[in-house]
Amino acid sequence: MEYIWFEYDKPIKSQLPEPFKAVAIILSSFISMPLNWTKSNRKYEYEHIFPTLDQIKQCGKPVTWQEIMKKSKFKDYSELAWGLVTSIATLKEEYRNQFLADKINLNEDEYYPIEDNLSIFLIKDFVDVLTSKGAKKISFSNTILDVNKTLEVNEANCIEICKLCEEYPEVMIYDNNLDFAFLSVYDSFINLFLAKEESDIIDVLNIKKWEGFICDNNTRIRWFL
């Protein structure tokens, strides 16, 4: 199985390949770096910088959408998502909402989630879920750079899968039984969680406490519009 390119104007569930029947949108965490990290890493006063993966792994911490919503005075996830995607200029002009984009309130050492990628704070959790039903192999797919790997489930290979997910955008990882799959989504701050049964998604969300929601029959990639 290769990475799945979902059409933005059609419901996600209607595009799921067999044997997947259910899907959830998982929100990628914002990033918080230590106090004064930004100021100490700028080369000049107003330089726009973003921490590297190594820097995030070394000293970054996740910040929930709920936290950003509260201090930015957004009423729900949809408003924050709309503001985020507007601010990175990926929407057609008629769909942009600059009012919401301008409301996003981050302190100097807080940063957007990494777009296009699986959440760096959740990748290990994703791999844990893939192996939770006794899978013997995990596969990785990136069609843009034609990087595809299938590895036996062991500690070293799970670490390698995590590193691949950190390095490549637009990726999908899945187990050999196709019980679960996780995908990053181009030009977005979400990941998709696919499963054979919606009850499995509910169980995982209850255990892992990820921010997100289960898609209904009408949910699209641009779910906030």
What are the beta bridge partners of residue 193?
24, 182
pLDDT tens string 13-47? 999 999 999 999 999 999 999 999 999 999 998 89
pLDDT digits (tens, 9 = 90+) for 80-98: 999 999 999 999 999 999 9
Taking each helix axis as running N to C, give the angle between helix 123-130 and helix 155-167, from 0 to 180 degrees, rounded to the nearest 10.
Answer: 130
Q: How far apart are the first and last CA of the chain?
A: 30
**Which residues 6+ apart lie within 8 Å of 29 measured at CB?**
62, 63, 64, 65, 113, 119, 121, 122, 211
Dig out the tokens for 187 from the structure.
């030009």
Residue located via tokens 């940063």: 111
CB 122 within 8 A of CB 30: no
Asked if residues 197 and 22 have their Cβ atoms less than 8 Å apart, the reply is yes
Residue 129, classified by CB atoms within 10 Å of its CB into exposed (0-12), middle (13-18) or buried (19+), is buried
Four-residue CA torsion sign, 94, 85, 42, 40: positive
pLDDT tens per residue across all 225 residues of the chain: 888 999 998 999 999 999 999 999 999 999 999 999 999 999 998 899 999 988 999 999 999 999 999 999 999 999 999 999 999 999 999 999 999 999 999 999 999 999 999 999 999 999 999 999 999 999 999 888 888 889 999 888 888 888 888 888 899 999 999 999 999 999 999 999 999 999 999 999 999 999 999 999 999 999 999
173, 2 Cβ separation under 8 angstroms: no
Assess contact for 80 and 68: CB atoms under 8 A.
Answer: yes
Q: Which of 28, 20, 27 is nearest to 1 (CA)?
A: 20
Inter-residue contact 112 to 154 (CB < 8 Å): no
